Structure 1
């Protein structure tokens, strides 16, 4: 929760040149949509124009150009005069700072925090999940996420209460937040929800469930969409807006969390009015989007052919699972470590067995890995959690448990000494769960590093980043004795790592950024930005 607030503040500074208040999660926002503010012409006539000395434009690279455009084009659409634009530079600047957010607010126009909050409902911290469960239980696509939220309900509530005691969470704006999971729509063709209980990828669902939980507990109005029909229903009020200005009246949404697939759906659904919502976008993007892929003209000039880039957003609006680059924002996820109260009371009594657990729920991941696994088997038992009846690539000595529930997996990890990487999947949350339960992680090294230049999986992704191992974050930011990065084609190197692991007691380890309290504190967002960011 902490991290989300910090991200919002950073992007707030980039777009607005203001310093966000992390203590209470409030930042300057646009005028209330229920009472649209116009430029006060009477004030201008009474001398306010004299106060129109422009503040520094740092963090607003497009402001000057927009003011020049307004001087020439403000009569091109009557919507500008409806917002109070009258041809004066001051009215241009006020419109561009208070309606469209291209420019910083004039100091004499800035509302006090109290005035802003009084005009809106305030967000109140929640400690009860009933309403969230009611909404999520109506859709089969949300079942896996809801089960995860239920398993972790106790630490979530404890974290939000702790945060409320330590930080001032009153007088926060209660925002209308749209969460659109494009990856769960039928149109995406991914079938992630359908395969969630049969070995399918879960990393994105982990991050989405944690984000939804955080926003809900912080007291915001959260609407979750997992179909284009739902998206159209939520946004139907503004879908026909062809005006050059944002729609007046009560805002449909104030902040939008979405993925790349959802972005395409959102843009197509809204048509021309999509431009008025770019500032509200916060894009969950596991592997990140580098600036040269994000800037459409530059990407075109460099010959980058990617279906995932060219959005022309601020790079910090892209939120990653791990801190790949300062260009994007690090959202992260919560490592599932704690069980319910009765489980926690005796989980520490579980004795470690001389066994390993292989990271790979799909049989094909095990292909051509027998020699590597033979080395491990010479020192300890080898266990797996592979789905289905097809296990042709599993060596005969592997004890396969099949797909386990989250609770059962936690217990299995607690009695395991070594979590074994197979080189794929890349950068998932599972190794951190294993490390948090006291396992060492055997992390396959990549030489040469894998990237879009030599690996099909990364081709088309909007990044040139090179992975030096299956899990670069664990390799660089955690390291030994919890993470052992080895060349799995070198039996001697693998043996040395195993002997070192078995010669010591390895305690559970959990990075602060992956704890529930850390997520809560960083998830207090704001929305006043011009092309993308998170809620406060």
Structure 2
């Protein structure tokens, strides 16, 4: 219908935008026309108008992206300003549509409350459709609780009026009864908890599914990777580390019971490697281009495969369409009938947008399967689309409305997200003892920075380092930056030669950038001491250009906070490089130190396999059948006003655990932890649940997507769910790993 419209030129597209604005006003008029719906047809009509409008705008947005950013982008350079204008307008239109849709939902719920008069005990009676408290609603159909499913009640009410609007609802067993609504909304759309008897049946059915068997060969995986030109670097890394991976898999199988695990059907879509992304990472990866994300993808692919799951790998939008062809055949927006074709989807931010485009209306039914690789993290206030709009946060990322734990980070820096991590490659092991014995470590300083631009403002600092050590570098020669002649540059080295150089080096010197990369861990694993640059004040999106677009307010206390916080001395010395005396004192002590190579377990092959296996088994964002980590690990702390849960937990050598917020978000539970509320009320903001010490009021969270370890408020004390952690495997609490793995 709209295909020919989007092939027009730029001026015609602007005209199309004006038409859309007119269409929006038409929707507003329709809203008032149907303000009090009298029958189902008017409600259906509004839903169809809203859906059609969203498809229209999304189609224009996708075409705008493809036309200006696509293969003919160079010829469209003159339309850069137009592109930005269209992007802003489209975002604004979509936001308006969301608001209008919310108002329509409210009207439908209001109409339902006023007009429902069914007498069927199993249907939405007038008494059941009124505003019920959680206990009253939960008791219906045998539910024990709707805790953690804040939209369940509203969705049931919506289904009561709209279940005949799509023929597929009936095919799922929806028949107008309340229990059929809850069954559908728990097992298909994941808005409600599963009915107790259904849990038993599904558990029994799951027991019959194929089991994951650990693998001790990577040959078949390497053959799959060889079919994708874009995956050459990943293939070479896995091939190089093959012995490490196999040894680690065997060791983990001896340590933990890996039998009787259901085999998952897993899609891994690497959006950053697609031609549509425009990043050209695959083309530049052997020229010193960014490797952090590819390292993580490589280790994720190897881990999922060795753990015995069935994998599909995609590196292009066309390939993604082929894999998901069955999913995209629905024109009526209904979810897929029968068993979902996938159990897990690993994707990056770019790939997520591509997946959304390919799946269309079916995307919503696969949201809970997503695991999004996200290097720097996405905090809840940037993930929540309406909250972003409310706070006017400028960021091209975020607004995805996922459960924050669905974002997988490279380091455990944002407890609201999950720590996936990566593996630090070790070139030398016990098989290389003879070679290592011949290597002499001398007073060499290897500077961290592939680009000479990183060095140019650091000459006074390097002059101090030179007093204590011979300075070496591994940066591009072609960069025309005047550097002191005392620097010995080796150029870009392959992994083996770089680690050989690290074995000869005393200190690995940070310059302050890049932030949070894998290189310092490689240096420490080879016996170097890392000179880590302290940031005072901490760097964040308010004072550092690099972080201005990132969906986080996290503050970096140093170039590598993980090394500073979780490793520390003698392997890591964090100093203010602007303070000459501090630098000199640190270097004097470093040169007297002799340290052994050290690598935290969580960055080994075995550590990553262990962590990912537990995540696959225990993280459930669809049915949410149990709290993980187990509630026995909960340690409740009360923060001071203006103090976040991240800060108070960290101060106590603990970690904030957002999975426990659901449990704490009740007056009865708070009382068990000696927090007595005279009164309570529910609101939606980042600092909830919280306690007002002046009037003994408890403020509870009404929007589960805003549960945040990071939020704080100057007048209220946050009620914080903390837990302890295993040193070297911080994703797990002490004492619960063995119990969780050995069921």
Shared fold (TM-score greater than 0.5)?
yes
Is contact 1:450-1:467 (8 Å) kept?
A: yes
TM-score, normalised by the number of residues in structure 2: 0.63
Is contact 1:243-1:273 (8 Å) kept?
A: no
Shift of 1:391: 5.7
C-alpha RMSD of matched pairs (Å): 2.3
What is the correspondence of 1:171-182 to structure 2 with a 5 Å cutoff? 171-182=260-271
Is contact 1:383-1:399 (8 Å) kept?
A: yes
Distance 1:485-1:391 versus aligned 2 partners, 3 A rule: farther
Shift of 1:430: 0.7
Shift of 1:67: 1.9
User: Which residue of the other structure, out of 409, 413, 420, is the alignment partner of 2:509?
Assistant: 420
Report whether the alignment pairs 1:122 with 2:211: yes
State the match for 1:448 in structure 2.
537
Report whether the alignment pairs 1:155 with 2:247: no
State the alpha-carbon separation in 2 of the partners of residues 502 and 323 from structure 1. Answer: 30
The gaps in structure 1 that reach 5 residues or longer are 1-43, 45-49
State the match for 1:93 in structure 2.
182
Q: Counterpart of 1:387 in 2: which secondary structure? A: coil
State the match for 2:580 in structure 1.
491
Shift of 1:309: 0.8
State the alpha-carbon separation in 2 of the partners of residues 358 and 174 from structure 1. Answer: 45
Distance 1:328-1:424 versus aligned 2 partners, 3 A rule: same
User: Which residue of the other structure, out of 323, 329, 334, is the alignment partner of 1:234?
Assistant: 323
Is contact 2:534-2:558 (8 Å) kept?
A: yes
State the alpha-carbon separation in 2 of the partners of residues 257 and 345 from structure 1. Answer: 41
Is contact 1:148-1:406 (8 Å) kept?
A: no
State the match for 2:570 in structure 1.
481
State the match for 1:109 in structure 2.
198
Report whether the alignment pairs 1:221 with 2:310: yes
State the alpha-carbon separation in 1 of the partners of residues 153 and 339 from structure 2. Answer: 29
Between stretches 278-287 and 190-199, larger displacement belongs to 190-199
Distance 1:359-1:418 versus aligned 2 partners, 3 A rule: same
Cα displacement string for residues 168-221 of structure 1 (whole angstroms, at most 9, x for unaligned residues): 222222222111111112222222222222221111111111111100101111
The gaps in structure 2 that reach 5 residues or longer are 1-121, 123-138, 625-658, 660-740
State the match for 1:267 in structure 2.
356
State the alpha-carbon separation in 2 of the partners of residues 486 and 240 from structure 1. Answer: 58
TM-score, normalised by the number of residues in structure 1: 0.86
Report whether the alignment pairs 1:135 with 2:227: no
State the match for 1:529 in structure 2.
621
Is contact 1:159-1:517 (8 Å) kept?
A: yes
Report whether the alignment pairs 1:360 with 2:360: no
Report whether the alignment pairs 1:284 with 2:376: no
Shift of 1:113: 8.1
Shift of 1:244: 4.6
Between stretches 305-314 and 227-236, larger displacement belongs to 227-236
Is contact 1:482-1:506 (8 Å) kept?
A: yes
Shift of 1:523: 0.9
Shift of 1:99: 2.2
- Greater CA radius of gyration, 1 or 2? 2
Is contact 1:198-1:388 (8 Å) kept?
A: no
What is the correspondence of 1:187-206 to structure 2 with a 5 Å cutoff? 187-206=276-295
Q: Counterpart of 2:282 in 1: which secondary structure? A: coil
User: Which residue of the other structure, out of 326, 346, 351, is the alignment partner of 2:435?
Assistant: 346
Where relative contact order (Cα < 8 A, 6+ residues apart) is larger, the structure is: 1
Report whether the alignment pairs 1:468 with 2:560: no
State the alpha-carbon separation in 2 of the partners of residues 159 and 83 from structure 1. Answer: 44
* Count of residues in correspondence between the two structures: 486
Between stretches 478-487 and 383-392, larger displacement belongs to 383-392
What is the correspondence of 1:281-360 to structure 2 with a 5 Å cutoff? 281-339=370-428, 342-343=431-432, 346-347=435-436, 349-360=438-449
State the match for 1:4 in structure 2.
none
